[in-house]
Chain A
Amino acid sequence: MRGLTLEPSSPDRWREVRGTLRRLLAEGADPAGLFADGAQGSLLEPAPAGQRFPTPRFPRGWQGPFRRVAHHRDPDSLRLLYRLLHRHQTEKGLPERALDPDVRELVARDAAVRRDAHKAKAFVRFREVAPDTFAAWHRPDHHVLPLVAGFFARRFGDRPFAIFTPDATLHVREGELTWAPGAPRSAVPDADGLDDLWRTYYRATFNPARTNLKAMRAEMPAKHWSTLPETRDLRALVAEAPARVAAMAARAERQPTVADVLPERRSLETLREAAPACRACPLHGPATQVVFGEGPADARVVLVGEQPGDQEDRRGRPFVGPAGSLLREVMASVGLPPGETYLTNSVKHFRFRGKRRIHDRPRAGEVQACRPWLHAELELVKPEVLVLLGATATRSLLGSRVKFRDVRGKVVATPFAPHTVVTVHPSAILRAEDGATLKESLSSALALARSLLSPSICRAATKW
């Protein structure tokens, strides 16, 4: 019987193992007669300097796995490598035999070393031990430091650094790699000035709604946690996760929305009945009543204004004040029949200031809160032409990036109707000095809307 041992962590481990394997093969050693036991000491004499052994038959596909398995911590790995090499000299097609127990063992041990090397690349953490000088301590399962030395030198070689492991230490300075014996964890300080920022990042990037500790443990084995500062926050992060999720849900819960009152079965009637219960914005408080849209459910044209005014608020109907009369007058003049038109507003409650009930522009949050009502109306009526009156309606349905002045008087594309026309609000005409010009543009916009309607015959046909 002969024993096989090697220095536990030699930087040139693969070359030594390869030399040993070649020599054993040249000597015709019987794989069954070898034992591997570090305690016994090597019965092999070191290869005499300059002596070379013939290169044996060696499959190309084994180069990587052999090199890696040579760094496996179990000394029995060397016996496995020699047995495979020995068998390969006489057995044909051994490397392809995925079911052979030795080949399977090679694959399994290779995977273990590869994973360990990968984890070393991931979890080695450098501390700045002197200005622009870095050091890390890491405990791998196998003797992987020689396997990853090149990676670290390529990546971090522009500054001096050292990686300490219990088996060996690697120093890199100006492209020069030097090796020293292993060191305990105390060789490298536990903290670094940047830890605080890193932990801040780690806490912020975690989504408490998706806690999955099993997945985390599988990928980040607890034995590495001692050198990973972020793991000190784990307990707190996990403990507070349910509370954070609950707080988020409660916050959403406390804020009433249109969804709370939107009826399941949708028709203009059910919507109108549900609207008075809406608490999605605070406007329902001061206003007299909700002012819902008005018109036939199969209207071909929908006109959207801003919000009800004083008159509308008192009477509960849209466009019945001064601006409404003006609008109805212009509609009549271009031949937009009221019977085929649905009138509504972006916001369904009146917003006003002071005792004299002065009109006050609705805020973006209120427009947004009310938008689901408008969407629901448009989905039911499905107009052929949609007319947006003024900046508020435009912002509500086209978004805040679209500038009203850029689209005014134009036909734009929206998902709500085949054609959408943007124009001024009738109340702007009442306020403006050159009301006549504005009235002219409202009139031409409505005429344009009228002309965009398909001939009624088509409409009748699609209705059948």
Chain B
Amino acid sequence: MSLRRKLAVLADAAKYDASCASSGAKGTRSGSGLGSTEGMGICHSYTPDGRCVSLLKILFTNRCLYDCRFCINRASSDTERAAFTVEEVVRLTMDLYRRNYIEGLFLSSGIVVSEDHTMERLVEVARRLREEERFGGYVHLKIIAGASPELVSLAGRYADRLSCNVELPTAGDLAKLAPEKRAESIEGSMHHAAEEIGARKREKSKKAPPFAPAGQSTQMVVGATPTTDQTILRSASTLYRSHGLRRVYYSAYSPIVHADPGLPRKPVTLLREHRLYQADWLFRFYGFEVDELFEEEQALPLDIDPKLAWALRHPELFPLDLNRAPREQLLRVPGLGARRVDRLLSARRQGRLRADDLRALRVSMPKVAPFVHGLEGAGAHHRVLMRTLRTRVQEKRAEQLELFESCAA
């Protein structure tokens, strides 16, 4: 098989992994020839799906012993198979990097022979890049769950980021759709990586070799099982807390060729994925608890964002005085992001804020006005605006429902 065909097959097979970040690794490795990492990630291109192309994201091979139902590369799928050699991956990475097409390499793999055998190949690619090619660019290695701790440790020495996918939000989902994967071995591998990353961080000496300086992340497919948004976000929040993850990626299940009959036929709406990311941000940077974002419904509303939904459920906490409210309360105002809040706070120190000032700070007044008061020069009263907003949301929902029912009939 030609290198070109292999690349087509193995890039196609890797594209369902949502992680594309090339950020977080500060300072280039000492002794590097080609390449650097400078903290901020760079997207070198964008595909027509609006996704950034930052790393050469490929599988080492898409042959796989496992039979995970949601995965296009599962053993029982009749998809075209291919495998790179270590040399081929190293050359591709170096050649593309040299022309500034990529920030580095994202390497994952189907499982062949055994977990350790597969992990050894991935580590060997990274070792060759670092030690023989003196490559200083970004390397993201997938941890094969169940690989031996020694291999995970080696991977961390060469990689900037490690990731071990939990694949599905709960252990029950995993047992159903990925019968060969074990939640315990996934957690075990993550735990080992987290320990080493933590140990390296506590290390005072600057000369100590780096260990996955950009931390570790994980991914879960959402919508392949009936698991609710609330359960998904609880799992994610536990993962952030117990393993110090940098990111949890949510990947909306989209039907694959030769899909398993037990899986949904229709793709999960991308809006659901988007709402999950919004909620993820809310509990990581805005001081929300996961359970605050839900009431009786265990799903995030699709028509409005989770913060607005929360605020509409809590009219008793509003309006806030923009000139007095503390940061943690401002963060909960729909339409105010963390950066906007900080600029607001610094502007507030210079004197009383007026409605014009908010416009100057590019705060969207229609979004914010129903939730704040105490602004000179603002238009209608917040209570009127709040009522209008609620009615509009309700009317829209009623309309949708009608539409849905007439379709169903």
Contacts and interface: CB of A to CB of B under 8 A. Distances in A.
B260 A368 contact: yes
Interface stretch (A21-29, A155-163, A427-435): A155-163
A399 B38 CA distance: 44
Contact of A201 (B36, B48, B56): B56
User: Interface of chain B, helix or strand or loop or mixed?
Assistant: loop
Interface in B22-46: 28, 33-36, 38, 40, 42-46
A314 interface: no
Contact of B50 (A126, A196, A214, A401): A214
Interface in B133-186: 136, 172, 175-176, 179-180
A200 B53 CA distance: 13
A209 interface: yes
Interface in A354-400: 364-365, 368-369, 371-372, 375, 397-400
A196 B56 CA distance: 15
A216 B47 contact: yes
Best-surrounded residue of A214, A241, A368 (most CB of chain B within 10 A): A368
A248 B49 CA distance: 17
B7 A200 contact: yes
Given A154-B36, A248-B255, A125 B99 contact: yes
Contacts of B357: 99
Contacts of A415: 172, 175-176
A98 B255 CA distance: 49
Interface residues of B, number: 69
A216 B53 CA distance: 11
B4 A257 contact: no
A210 B34 CA distance: 34
A437 interface: no
A210 B49 CA distance: 5
A204 B11 contact: yes
A98 B343 contact: yes
Nearest to A127: B99
Nearest to B12: A204
Contacts of B258: 251, 255
A334 interface: no
A202 B96 CA distance: 12
B283 to A, nearest CB: 25
A205 interface: yes
A158 B47 contact: no
B65 interface: yes
A209 B98 contact: no
B48 A234 contact: yes
Interface in A158-178: 158-159
B379 interface: no
Contacts of B255: 209, 248-249, 252
A260 B267 CA distance: 17
A211 interface: yes
B340 to A, nearest CB: 11
B361 interface: yes
Interface residues of A, number: 77
A371 B76 CA distance: 13
Contact of A251 (B66, B75, B257): B257
Interface stretch (B195-203, B346-354, B383-391): B346-354
Contacts of B100: 124-126, 136, 156
Contacts of A104: 360
Contact of B7 (A99, A201, A213, A230): A201
Nearest to A396: B179
Contact of B47 (A202, A214, A258): A202
Interface stretch (A115-123, A286-294, A325-333, A345-353): A115-123
B96 A198 contact: yes
B394 to A, nearest CB: 29
A252 B259 contact: yes
Best-surrounded residue of A211, A375, A401 (most CB of chain B within 10 A): A401
B98 A134 contact: yes
B305 interface: no
B265 interface: yes
B265 A259 contact: yes
A219 B47 contact: no
Nearest to A258: B261
A121 B90 CA distance: 23
A118 B265 CA distance: 41
B42 A122 contact: yes
Contacts of A280: 261
A372 B261 contact: yes
Contact of A207 (B76, B254, B350): B254
Contacts of B287: none
A197 interface: yes
Nearest to A123: B44
B56 A158 contact: no
Given A118-B42, A126-B100, A136-B100, A212 B48 contact: yes
Contacts of A208: 49
Best-surrounded residue of A93, A200, A255, A398 (most CB of chain B within 10 A): A200
Best-surrounded residue of B44, B46, B66, B180 (most CB of chain A within 10 A): B46
A238 interface: yes
Given A124-B100, A198-B99, A210-B254, 8 more contacts: A121-B42, A200-B11, A201-B11, A237-B47, A364-B76, A368-B260, A369-B261, A375-B176
